[in-house]
Structure 1
Amino acid sequence: MPVTTTTPRRNPWLALLGFVTVVAVVGLVGALAATSAREIYGRLHQPSWAAPAELFGPMWTVMYLLIAFAGWWYWRTDGETGAYAAYGIGLLLNLLWTPLFFAGRSTTLALIDVVALDFVVFVTVVLFARRSRVAAVLLVPYLGWLAYATALNSAVVVLN
C-alpha cells in the first residue's frame, strides 16, 4: 500500500493578515513614541527642503503597507530564511528610529539607526529579487523614502 503525505495548505490571506499585523505593530510603536513629534519637529532647525510634519503620517502609512505586502509576496515564494532575517532586522531598526529621534531626543543615534536601516533594506531588496521581483520592487519606494529620511536626519544633526 503506497504511503502518501499531504502538504498542509497555507492560507495566503491569513499570512497577509500576519504581515500587516506585524508591520502595524512597528508603526504603532512609532506612533506612540511620536506623541510629541509635531512639537519637537517644529522646534528643530531644518533644511529648506524639509517636508511638512503633516506629510509623514500618510507617507509612513503607505510605506508600511508596501513593507507588509513585500514580505507577504516574498513569503508566497517559500523564500530563504536569510532574506526573512534581513526583513526582520529592517523592521526592528525601523521600530527603533522614532523612539530614538523623538522620545529619546537623540538625533545622532537615530541617524546611525537609519543609515543601518538603509543598508539592511537595500540588502533585503537584493535578496528578495532573487526569488520575486515583485517583492523587491514593492520595497523600492520605501528605500527611496528612507534615503530622504536619512538626508533629513543628517541635516537635522548638522543644523542642531
Structure 2
Amino acid sequence: MDLLFFLLFLAACGATAATGALFPPGAWYDRLAKPSWVPPDWLFPVAWTTIHLLISAAGAYVAQMNGSGLALAFWALQSAASALWTPVFFGLRRMKSALLVVGVLWLAVLGATIAHWQLSLWAGLAFLPYLAWVTVATALNAAMIRLNPDVRPLRPDQA
C-alpha cells in the first residue's frame, strides 16, 4: 500500500468526519427519548477512528489494483452519504430524511464491502466493522423516529 494513497483516503474520511464538528448533537439531541441500547458517548470517536483507519487502508490498497473502479465508486458513495447524514439529522433535525440517507449509506457500505472483498479478502474484511456500525446507526435512527414522533424538523429560517 502506498502511503500517499492512504493519506488521501484518510483526508477524505477527515472531511466526512468534519460534519460532526459542524453539526454537533447538542441540547436538542440530549432531550430526545432514546432506546436503552444507545452506544455510550465514548464509543463514537473510538468506533469512527477505527473505521476510518480501516477503510482508508482498504481503499488505498485496492486503488492500486486493476479492476478497482466499482470498489472505489462505492467507497466514494459511502463517504458522501456519511457526510450527508450528520447535517440532515443534527443540523436540520430531519430524522425521517436522515433514515433515508442512512439507508443509502448502509447499501453503499455493503456494496463497498462486497466490491473490496472481490479484490482482496483483507480489504473486504476491513469494511465489516463499518457495516456493523452503520447497521446499528440505521436501527438507532429508526428507533429515534419511533420514540420521538412529535419532533419537527427545523424550518429553513431556523437553520
TM-score (norm 2): 0.86
Identity rate of aligned residues, in percent?
Answer: 34
> Runs (4+) of structure 1 moved beyond 3 Å?
none
Distance 1:112 1:154 in 2: 10
Distance 1:67 1:30 in 2: 18
1:62-77 matches, cutoff 5 A: 62-77=50-65
In structure 1, the gaps of 5 or more residues are: 1-10
Q: Which residue of structure 1 lines up, in the alignment, with residue 156 of structure 2? A: none
**Pick aligned residue for 1:39 from 27, 41, 47:** 27
Cα distance, 1:38 vs structure 2: 4.0
Q: Is the 8 A contact 1:73 1:134 kept in 2?
A: no
- Offset from partner CA, 1:108-149 (integer Å, 9 cap, x none): 111111111111111111111111111110000000010011
Distance 1:113 1:148 in 2: 14
RMSD in angstroms over aligned alpha carbons?
1.5
In structure 2, the gaps of 5 or more residues are: 149-159
Q: Is the 8 A contact 1:77 1:132 kept in 2?
A: no
- Offset from partner CA, 1:31-87 (integer Å, 9 cap, x none): 2222xx142331111111112233222221222222211211211323421221111
Q: Is the 8 A contact 2:35 2:143 kept in 1?
A: yes
TM-score (norm 1): 0.86
Distance 1:55 1:130 in 2: 30
Larger Rg: 1
Q: Which residue of structure 2 lines up, in the alignment, with residue 23 of structure 1? A: 13
Q: Tell me the matched-pair count.
A: 148
